[in-house]
Amino acid sequence: MTEKVLFDRLDTVSGHQLGVITLNAERSLNSLDKKMVDSLYDQLTLWQDDENIVCIFLQAAGEKAFCAGGDVRSLRQSVIDGDTSAPGQFFEKEYRLDYLIHTYRKPVICWGNGVIMGGGFGLMAGADFRVVTDTSIMAMPEITIGLYPDVGGSWVLNRLPARIGLFMALTGCRLNPADAMYLGLANRFIDHAFRKNVIESLQEADWSGDHYQATFDVVQHYSDNSAGWLPYSKIREHRDQIARMMEKPTLSAIIGDLKALQTEDSWLEQAKNIALTGSALSAVLAYEQLKRSRYDSLKEVFQNELILSINCVLKGDLQEGVRALLVDKDNQPQWTYSVIEDVPQEKVSEMFTPPWGESANPLSNL
């Protein structure tokens, strides 16, 4: 059986090594399951303390996707089969992995070619060098499956300008490479054809000095030679319009503006349609989570996301959303609530209540 994550140590001319990680589940668009998360966490932990490893290069097999998210189908099936502990085990380890990348003591390059969604967004967000290519598509479309932007999304989206993070959460809008660069979700654009060259140049670099400088020099060289390929940014074009809608004082007013939106722009129209057909409960939870976590530390964000994510699987719309989109594929989800006004405050409070009762948060020792 082929390993779903591959780990390689590549020698450099200065006598050091690169740690190269390849997500290798191409058929599932490199979606993360618990075993993949465990192996990523364990290997990164080992390499962080390995003096020979000077830099991490995280990539994926295939041309379609870096990572399309977490393996929510398996998660749903585990719960249906009676294993209600599965969501907690998966999300706790996934968030530990994401936090490890955010706080890693060595330079991390994430090569975000193709689709970057959900769990893939979480892997990329903490990397020092977040590379998008000519085929990158980034999104946080959790509202379509009854979840919300987790994997540290509460931290990242709250720091975007013009409340674009809230727009991303409510609409699942797709970002092209220029959008990702404009928002800072990526910080380098490099043509995908240069990937092997980048790795070879990293091997030829001198790592006897500052490792971040050595990484910067290589990545920046290829970024400078790719600048002419960037497409047109839809986020930049519609920034003012998005800000006007998202700055309304209530979620009802925001959704009302989206409903009333008249546009001939297919990108905006698709975003509007997702907002109006996605889970109303997820919309309320995403809005509330961003509000609650606005001043949280990164550690607090992951701790609070763990509460909400487990509850979304066990008590929310995720099981139905995954059924409709990924299992039966009828695209006819029967959401718990048809509109956001139907979501009672008691339900919101329940979703933010720790499922482990009075016990300590499993991520309290992050």
Q: Which residues are catalytic?
A: 70, 119, 142, 150
Cα–Cα distance for residue pair 329/243, rounded to 1 Å:
34
281-311 burial by CB neighbour count: b if 16+ within 10 A, else e?
bbbbbbbbbbeebeebebbbbbbbbbbbbbb
Cα–Cα distance for residue pair 289/300, rounded to 1 Å:
12
C-alpha distances in Å from residue 98, one per residue of 6, 11, 198, 284, 357: 18, 26, 24, 25, 25
120-151 burial by CB neighbour count: b if 16+ within 10 A, else e?
bbbbbbbbbbbbbbbbbbbbbbbbbbbbbbbb
DSSP secondary structure string for all residues of 109-138: EEEE-SEEETHHHHHHHT-SEEEE-TT-EE
With tokens 């139907």, the residue in question is: 342
Supply angle C-alpha 107, 45, 83, rounded to 5: 125
Token digits of residue 335: 């959401």
Cα–Cα distance for residue pair 69/4, rounded to 1 Å:
14
Cα–Cα distance for residue pair 354/346, rounded to 1 Å:
14
Give the containing element (helix H, strand E) for 318.
helix 318-322
Residue 236, classed as helix, strand or coil, is: helix
Token digits of residue 210: 């500052």
Check residue 250 and report its DSSP letter: S
In this structure, are residues 58 and 21 in contact, taking their beta carbons and an 8 Å threshold?
yes
In this structure, are residues 231 and 178 in contact, taking their beta carbons and an 8 Å threshold?
yes
Q: Which residues are within 8 A (CB) of 46 and not within 5 positions of it... i.e. 6 or more apart? A: none
Residue 63, classed as helix, strand or coil, is: coil
